[in-house]
């Protein structure tokens, strides 16, 4: 698992992304993408895939983007 020897910890990544929920969502979405790629190509994912995903997040290679159909609470409540 990601730790200080890699230059970051899971807690560091959690703070960078904005919380455990956001981190979980991003890791799940990225894992799904990689798993689909794996099935299409027939290649196996490495055993340390979660570490690789955390590294991508830490390095800024991927980030959580809101879904297009999501609306903010301000838009929903009419507060601008």
Please tell me the pTM assigned to this model: 0.75
In tens, the pLDDT along 30-60 reads 999 999 999 999 999 999 999 999 999 999 9
DSSP the chain: ---GGGT--HHHHHHHHTSHHHHHHHHHHHHHHHHHHHHHHTPPPPTTHHHHHHHHHHHTS------TT---HHHHHT--
- 4 or 32, which is more confident: 32
pLDDT of residue 19: 94
pLDDT band of 4, cuts 50, 70, 90: low
pLDDT of residue 43: 96
Q: Which sequence spans correspond to the domains of the chain?
A: 4-77
**pLDDT, mean of residues 8-12:** 94
């Amino acid at each position: 698992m990601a730790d200080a020897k890699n230059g970051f910890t899971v807690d560091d990544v959690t703070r960078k992304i904005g919380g455990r929920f956001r981190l979980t969502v991003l890791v799940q979405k990225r894992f799904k993408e990689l798993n689909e790629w794996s099935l299409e190509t027939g290649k196996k994912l490495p055993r340390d895939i979660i570490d690789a995903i955390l590294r991508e997040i830490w390095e800024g290679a991927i980030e959580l983007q809101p879904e297009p159909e999501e609306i903010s609470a301000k838009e929903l409540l009419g507060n601008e």
